[in-house]
Amino acid sequence: MLLSKENKLLIDKTLEEDCAFHDLTSGIVIANNTSAKAFIHSKENCILCGVEAARYIFNRLDKKATFKLFKNDSQNIKKGDRILEINSNTRSILSAERTALNFLSFLSGVATKTSKFVQKIKDLPAKIYDTRKTFPLLRSFQKYAVKTGGGFNHRFSLNHAILIKENHLKGSKLLIKGKPDLKAIEKVFDSIRKKNKGPIEIEVESLQEFRKIIEIHPDIILLDNFNLSQLKTAVQFRNKHYPKIILEASGGISLSNIRKVALTGVERISVGDITHTVDSIDLSLDLL
């Protein structure tokens, strides 16, 4: 849900940050009892995301505000398209404008970028997943936007799923002379499964590590920074010997190479770029 209790509180904080309830200019220039109609429209093509948040923001300034929705989240928007009509107190519209546009622009940017990756491989089995490389406190918003753009959510937080990375192996002494201690790691797997903590994913950084780790049957193996040749080799080995284990590619994934990565046969591709490097969509509000 985009408008969870926690997200509403965060939106309220952004309104406070902008002093939307103490707008000096609107308070002086705009008569208090006037009402107006305004439209939000897009200045570029995009995938829309965040309409629910925008409506909530305008209603926080004016509980009597009403809306006409022209487009919904996940729809393709063309340059010039109207997205939302707001009928409200004039001061309230102007005081809420920037916060509402900030959320709409940012979330639509995430959804649009995600969609570009998804469209590149739409005819292939692989799926695009996000990561935890999100803006502080905006993770739930960004993960919603990823889904809006057609992507899938990886674990939400450190408490959401098991992902054993290289530093976990180093920090827990599960390496012997720099190589995975399979017996010790297998004991960790057994302990996790006894506690019903869900699927186990583990990161490997080389084909040598991959061939060892796959022997102890994790549910998912994260192939970190593998080149295309290494990905193909890993998939072929998995298909022949351990067909039920899921393979996920990560590291250095871009629009220019996403299709080649998907063609190797991995089931999942995690892309930090869709959340940590975002170009907001250019949207505008016009008062009539």
DSSP secondary structure string for all residues of 43-85: SS-EE---HHHHHHHHHHH-TT-EEEES--TT-EE-TT-EEEE
Q: Does position 178 have pLDDT exceeding 80, yes or no?
A: no
- Asked whether residue 68 falls in the same domain as residue 93, the answer is yes
- Mean pLDDT score, 42-57: 98
Looking at 8, 98, 155, 232, which residue is catalytic? 98
- Asked whether residue 135 falls in the same domain as residue 47, the answer is no
- Mean pLDDT score, 145-153: 98
- Asked whether residue 223 falls in the same domain as residue 96, the answer is no
pLDDT for 197: 83
How many domains are there within the chain? 2
Whether 130 and 151 have beta carbons less than 8 Å apart is answered as yes
Q: Does position 151 have pLDDT exceeding 90, yes or no?
A: yes
- Asked whether residue 159 falls in the same domain as residue 254, the answer is yes
Looking at 8, 133, 147, 193, which residue is catalytic? 133
The DSSP element (H or E) to which 143 belongs, if any, is: helix 139-148
CA 77 to chain centre: 20
Give residue 234's domain range: 119-276
- Cα–Cα dist 185/164, whole Å: 10
Give me the helix-helix angle, 90-120 and 5-17, nearest 10°: 120
- Asked whether residue 272 falls in the same domain as residue 283, the answer is no
Beta bridge pairs of residue 66: 87
- Cα–Cα dist 241/251, whole Å: 25
Looking at 116, 132, 155, 165, which residue is catalytic? 165
Looking at 224, 238, 248, 273, which residue is catalytic? 224
- Asked whether residue 102 falls in the same domain as residue 129, the answer is no
CATH code (residue 165): 3.20.20.70
224 is annotated as an active-site residue: yes
98 is annotated as an active-site residue: yes
85 is annotated as an active-site residue: no
pLDDT band at 173 (very low <50, low <70, confident <90, very high): confident
165 is annotated as an active-site residue: yes
- Asked whether residue 102 falls in the same domain as residue 194, the answer is no
pTM, 2 dp: 0.94
Mean pLDDT of the chain: 96
